[in-house]
Amino acid sequence: MENRKSISAPILLTWRFPSVQGMQTIIVALAALAFSIYRQMRPTPVVADKALLLPAVLIVLGVVQGGLTEGGSVALLTLELAAAVVSGVVRGATMRLWRDASGALWRQGTIWTAVAWILSIAIRIGLVLLSHPAGAHAVSTASILIFLGLSLATQTAWVAYRSASISGRVKVQV
């Protein structure tokens, strides 16, 4: 009988199924993601009152869950946060802004916003796949919520900045 060394299974086969709480968190994140994308693709008035509410709730839920660096590294978490900020800025830059006849400011996602969303999701999946062989676990449900919340907050802030420059409240120097 031949003695064979075991070959490690592909990344997706070694992935552990999340706990019940983890599944609830993933469902919340997917619902927030679907709701955000749906709202962004429709013409919507730019209102700053509640724009950061959903991102703030997602970030707080992620922080409260804890375990952000369990089995992972601070460098990976930093990379995830940087990717969330960059993807939020890119999506915010793709939003169409205009004034209606009454002077109210409106926004709507474009096809480029949808492409940027797909890239944001691909970046998150890429970070998970790259982190696993290194022994880190980027599949933390807490980090999923924080990634989504920070990305949405950054996008909202970028749209607000662009809106203010259109309104004349902020002077943009070239």
Mean pLDDT of 146-156: 92
Domain enclosing residue 104, as ranges: 21-165
State the pLDDT at residue 174: 36
State the pLDDT at residue 127: 81
| 174: in domain | no
| 32: in domain | yes
| 143: in domain | yes
CA gap 15, 13 in Å, rounded: 6
Look up residue 99 and give its DSSP letter.
Answer: E
State the pLDDT at residue 140: 66
State the pLDDT at residue 163: 87
| 146: in domain | yes
CA gap 158, 174 in Å, rounded: 17
| 159: in domain | yes
Domain total in the chain: 1
| 37: in domain | yes
The per-residue pLDDT for range 93-133, each reduced to its tens digit, is 999 999 888 888 899 999 999 999 999 989 888 887 777 66
Contact (Cβ atoms closer than 8 angstroms) between residue 80 and residue 138: yes
The per-residue pLDDT for range 6-35, each reduced to its tens digit, is 444 444 444 455 566 667 777 877 888 898
| 10: in domain | no
The tokens describing 140, both together, are: 């933390």
State the pLDDT at residue 137: 56
State the pLDDT at residue 112: 96
State the pLDDT at residue 171: 45
State the pLDDT at residue 22: 63
State the pLDDT at residue 151: 95
| 8: in domain | no
CA gap 141, 21 in Å, rounded: 9
The per-residue pLDDT for range 40-79, each reduced to its tens digit, is 899 988 876 677 888 999 899 888 887 666 555 677 778 8
State the pLDDT at residue 155: 94
